A and B are shown apart, each in its own frame.
Chain A
Amino acid sequence: MEQSRLRLAITLLRQLLKFHPKPFLVAVTGASLYAICTVASSFGLGYVVDQVIIPRYESNKIDHHTFLIASMIVISIGLLRAVGVVVRRSYAGISHWSTSESLSTQLIRHIMKQPTMWHQRHMTGDLVARIGVDSDTAASVLGPLPFSTSVVLLVVLTSIWLVVIDVPLGLLAVTVIPLLFALNIGYQRRIDRHFDSAQKALGDLSEAVHESFDGVMVVKAFGAENREHVRLATISSKLKDARIRAVNARAVFEALVDGTPSLVNVSLITYGAFRVRSGSLTIGELSSFIYLFTLLVFPLRIIGYLLSEIPHSSSGFKRVREILDEHLELQPLIETLPRTSGIAVEVNSASFSYDEQSDLIFKDVNFAIPVGSTVAVVGETGSGKSTLLKMIAGLVSARTGSVKVGEGETAMVFQEPFLFSGSLQFNLTLGKTISIPVIARALWASVSEEFVSELEHGIDTIVGERGISLSGGQRQRIALARAIASGRQTLLLDDTTSALDPATESLVIDRLASLSDTTTVVIVASRPTTIKIADHVLFIHDGFVHELSTHDELMRTSPAYSNLMLSFDIDRKAS
């Protein structure tokens, strides 16, 4: 397992260090300085004991000169050691955060190049987690890593130094290294299990809590507060139990890791006494030996923790790579029609399915929409009306056939449009420069000018996350205004007026039609009044898109169409 961890670490590092190798190297240099100074500081302590303290008691005289030298040695080594720490920690942070930023940037660039189809297959929350959290987790191993290198250096230097001071004593002391290492690894393995089950319990808990609070209305309506309380308490007691098992394992580890080196240290003193008696060692050397040994213990205690970061980071990196390794999918191909054609949208023998395996939503679609007309797309729920619009908008690609759009491009507005948390102004322009009269006209056409002018800050009003401060109908109208302001010549409205009352809806459609001779409106509609206003109707039924026709014509010729109109009306008939 440790073997594979090491290999994991090496692969991970090779990939991460590509981005910003310099700060990492500086951090490693700082860490090395720290390791060297740590070993040197024990030499300083030995000097103080042998040259300053013991002579004071043997000769009963204070040697100012040696005290000064000893102070200089001890203090300058201490300061250098601190410099090492500062350099290591600062640059490790730079290395971690710069790498995290680079990973996020790569992810964003890649994701934003993917077409809408790709985005629809991926959950927003998951993508955000990969960009914002996983990239950070992946890079986070770079934080403690330079310290790990200094630990290795420290262990090697100290082992050598300890053996140099006194061979048998040194060998005895070095035994603690594999001992602590084994202890650490055994502990990490055990604790990982508990952490995993705690992590899983936490996941279960937050899912259950989310759902329970989400459905609070039902909980209250059925007086189920107590039952829900018991259910959630049961899940959280699993979390508590896993955590308690972890803490108990940890208590044993802490005690062992604290006690073991102390016991080795006690035996070092005992054995050291023999070595001093035989004259192989001075008291100062023994002291510096013991001091160095205590210094060695701290990094050894946390090496296991450092190693435990590796699988964590590695799984974060894997999640980042998963997205980056997905090849860029092709953007839907939309051909442009010449202005002279007088056609706004032309679809030829097009078919569509969500992927190659699934059934076709519709096939052999042929129609041409003349510039300046208003077309209602009619069909049952789930018949593919939105998909057809998205295909024209170039958001999804037709499986076969071609889609051509007149000059001036299309703008699609969704039933539940997305508003950005900034100002209305930003939502209307999306950061582009659009003149005030154009915006005013767009607000007028979407019947928004009245409510916008009533807002305290008018067009500069901040709409809040997803436009939360506006009502559903207002959000729809702002999105419509955005489409109009963009100057696109063909507006594709996917039930964009569903939250408006019938009167306002009719007004919107009238104004849209009057915008200009060259503006074409394609609207998904289910209100008979709306369908009535349209110049043409595109009727989708059973995977088949009828040719462009009119309401009257369809009522006469298509039983399916007249049935659908009746069902829109069923409620009225029931009364």
Chain B
Amino acid sequence: MSTDLEQRFPSARIIGRGVTVAPALKSGIGITFLLALFGTGARLVIPILIQQSIDHGLQPGHVNVSYISRLCTIGAICVVISSLCLREATKRLGNRAENGLFSLRTQLFDHIHRLSLEDHNNEKRGALVSRVTSDIETLTQFFSWGGLGLLLDGSQMIAVAAVMLAYDWRLALVAFVTSAPLIFVLRFVQSRLVNAHNLSRERNADFLGSVSELMAGAETLRAYSAEQTMINSVAVSMRNRRKSNVRAGVIGAFLFPSGEVFAVFTVMAVVGTGLLIGPAGGLTSGALVGFVFLTYRFLEPIAEFTEIIDQVQSAVAGLRRVLGVLDTPIGPPQSSNPRPLPLGKLSVDIQEVSFAYGARLGEDDDDTPVLHDISLHIAAGQHIALVGPSGSGKTTIARLIARLTDPTIGRVQIGGVALTEVSNESLRRRLIVVPQEPFLFANTISYNLQFAEPLASTIDMKAAFEELGLADWLEGMPLGLETHVGQRGSSLSAGERQLVALVRASMVKPDVLVLDEATSSVDALTEVRISRALERLALGRTTISIAHRLSTASRADRVVMLENGRIVEDGSHTELLNAGGKYAALYEAWLNSTRGESHE
């Protein structure tokens, strides 16, 4: 993906797009630059003072002290003013950069939360987190070091060049021509340096990858006494990392003093030319000495420039990845002119729906259809169970009903209104999904419930537990509603997480419930609690259960059996059993697998 983006957007365009997305980055940049130009003035005062002193007050044998004192007073004032300008420029750049990055970051949060679930799978999640954290950090790094350096060093070079031209255009020309080849040297070495840095970043990632595999797999390796092979391969990746970093360091080491090397040659060329021009050509000795100082100042920023190049590269790469995320289209698009949902119970209609993952993005590698021309009417208040082998399309149907994704062909209606016409806010007040592995935030139980219903009081929350028959469970919690559930709810068992998720769903008092049943085994008592809570939660609500346990299916009003993305059987549990078709066979197999000898 990154190489693809790289081809589409060269660096300049990336930067251009970056400032369009976060306009704070470029706002008032002209004034900032002007201030920086004045700010580097302090560095010019000394060469000018030396020239003036030598020419007008410091002739051998005749020193005009009062002239020099006046001159130096003016110089001191200039230094103070330019320092103030420098402070202002640094402040402006930093503040605007931070504001710009803040806006970029918050835009990313918003966008990422609205991406479709396909863009949120486990593989991509880590990448999304690092877009918001480490990629934006490379930009912060850039603005606080490299960006500031570019601004100040750039203005120093420009200001010095201007003063040089004002003093003597002939000497300035000599200085520019002599130092010009430096550009070629820099360009030649820089591309190597950038490659070397890229390589060492890659090697570093390889190394971290292999170490993390070694640590995560330590138990397995120990179990087979196979540690040495992996340790050796980590050692190789570590050696490669060292080599690539040292190489980048050596290239940088040669590049760093190149400005100084050119400075000595340039200074002597300037002095030589100055001697030839001499007083006859209108050049004073002070101007010549001042010029020598200016030449050093002119080439001084080169060393820092060579350090900044790498930062520019990383920053552009980071920005490119950030923009890549912002370019990813968001999940189901919002209706521009939403229609309200009717009051009361809601029916669900699936009309001639086909679905293929990836089809929306136009990717042609992964578009095998998951659903083929499905039509299903679920009456208001009906409890239906979707059953079928894994990969049959149950979860996809649930996602379509919840509008976590849109069908490729066909449409889904709820209460007679097409989902595409319902606003996200009102849909989420009326329809709730309880996923297979419910996610709890690392906070208290009440935080997790208020996540669903921010205005819920303690009494409301306790009542919700009561309603689902879970009051006794809540009482058993050490701190009741204020019990901390741990990261992802880890201090609760899988079954208890289910319980909290069910109560959370009930907080919203939804009219449509989509339940993806958990497959993980839970202890007997919790199992009973879950079944009871589910039953109470589903009572009087239009409920779509994805049933993994066929006991759940047997309790539903209606069972819909799916196979390979098609509805193969549809009817009540008893009807389907009596029909002796695929569902009956599935049920028989399930009974067998769960039967102990005791029942034979």
Contacts and interface: CB of A to CB of B under 8 A. Distances in A.
A567 B524 contact: yes
B144 A247 contact: yes
A270 B331 CA distance: 71
A232 interface: yes
Contacts of B94: 243-244, 247-248, 250-251
B65 A277 contact: yes
A552 interface: yes
Interface of A is mostly: helix
A240 B508 contact: no
A290 B109 contact: no
Interface in A436-471: 465-466, 468
B50 interface: yes
Given A240-B98, A266-B72, A417-B220, A569 B595 contact: yes
Contacts of A224: 428, 451
B45 A236 contact: no
B594 interface: yes
B60 A58 contact: yes
Nearest to B427: A223
Nearest to A255: B87
A23 to B, nearest CB: 10
B369 interface: no
Contact of B523 (A60, A125, A232, A380): A380
B260 interface: yes
Given A82-B260, A418-B220, A571-B549, A529 B592 contact: yes
A108 B214 contact: yes
A89 B90 contact: no
B581 interface: no
Nearest to B428: A223
A259 B87 CA distance: 10
Interface string A200-223: 001001100111111111111111
Given A111-B215, A218-B439, A67 B113 contact: no
A49 B47 CA distance: 14
B125 A214 contact: yes
Interface size class of B (residues with CB under 8 A): 35 or more
Most buried by B among A56, A88, A237, A569: A56
Contacts of A98: 242
B72 A270 contact: yes
Nearest to A88: B253
A430 B87 contact: no
A202 B137 contact: yes
Contact of B288 (A53, A246, A466, A567): A53
A3 to B, nearest CB: 29
Given A93-B246, A255-B83, A53 B132 contact: no
A127 B46 contact: no
Contacts of A225: 110, 113-114, 424
A431 B433 contact: no
Contacts of B125: 213-214
Contacts of A229: 106, 109-110, 113
Interface stretch (A8-16, A72-80, A172-180, A540-548): A72-80
Interface in A552-571: 552, 555, 562, 565-571
B82 A528 contact: no
B79 A222 contact: no
Contacts of A228: 109, 113
Given A67-B272, A209-B109, A54 B551 contact: no
A411 B275 contact: no
Nearest to B293: A291
A454 B225 CA distance: 31
Most buried by B among A85, A526, A552: A85
Contacts of B213: 420-421, 465
Interface in A55-99: 56-58, 60, 62, 67, 70-71, 74-75, 77-79, 81-82, 85-86, 88-90, 92-94, 97-98
Interface string A272-291: 01101100000100110011
B82 A259 contact: yes
A262 B79 contact: yes
A105 interface: yes
Nearest to A57: B285
B278 A60 contact: yes
Given A81-B260, A259-B79, A119 B105 contact: no
Contacts of B598: 555, 562, 565-566, 569
A48 interface: yes
A258 B246 contact: no
Most buried by B among A71, A216, A567: A216
Interface string B89-102: 01100110111011
Most buried by B among A75, A100, A243, A567: A243
Nearest to A41: B264
A490 to B, nearest CB: 12
A256 interface: yes
Contacts of A246: 144
A387 to B, nearest CB: 14
A228 to B, nearest CB: 6
A233 B106 contact: yes
Contacts of B487: 211
A85 B257 contact: yes
Most buried by A among B235, B253, B551: B253
B184 interface: no
B238 A101 contact: yes
A514 interface: no
A432 interface: yes
A6 interface: no
Interface in B221-269: 221-224, 226-227, 229-231, 234-235, 238-239, 241-242, 245-246, 249-250, 252-254, 256-258, 260-261, 263-265, 267-268
A355 B250 CA distance: 51
Contacts of A127: 215
Interface in B259-299: 260-261, 263-265, 267-268, 271-272, 274-276, 278-279, 284-285, 288-289, 292-293, 296
Contacts of A527: 593-594
B457 interface: no
Nearest to B435: A217
A435 interface: no
A569 B451 contact: no
Interface stretch (B51-59, B157-165, B408-416): B51-59
A555 B596 CA distance: 11
B591 A219 contact: no
B468 interface: no
A572 to B, nearest CB: 5
Interface string A487-529: 0000000000000001100000000000000000000001111
A211 B268 contact: no
B130 to A, nearest CB: 9
B554 interface: yes
Given A243-B140, A248-B94, A421-B213, A82 B129 contact: no
Most buried by B among A221, A503, A571, A574: A221
Contacts of B215: 111, 119, 124, 127-128, 131
A330 interface: no
Given A210-B129, A555-B597, A97 B242 contact: yes
Contacts of A466: 216
Nearest to B501: A218
A572 B257 contact: no
Contact of B46 (A57, A214, A262, A562): A262
Nearest to B303: A85
Contact of B216 (A124, A250, A531): A124
Given A74-B264, A503-B589, A572-B595, 10 more contacts: A56-B285, A78-B263, A86-B253, A132-B212, A209-B132, A224-B428, A244-B94, A255-B39, A287-B50, A527-B593
| The 7 nearest A-B residue pairs measured at CB | A223-B428, A93-B249, A247-B94, A78-B264, A431-B229, A259-B83, A89-B253
6 contacts: A71-B272, A88-B253, A93-B245, A108-B234, A217-B117, A502-B589
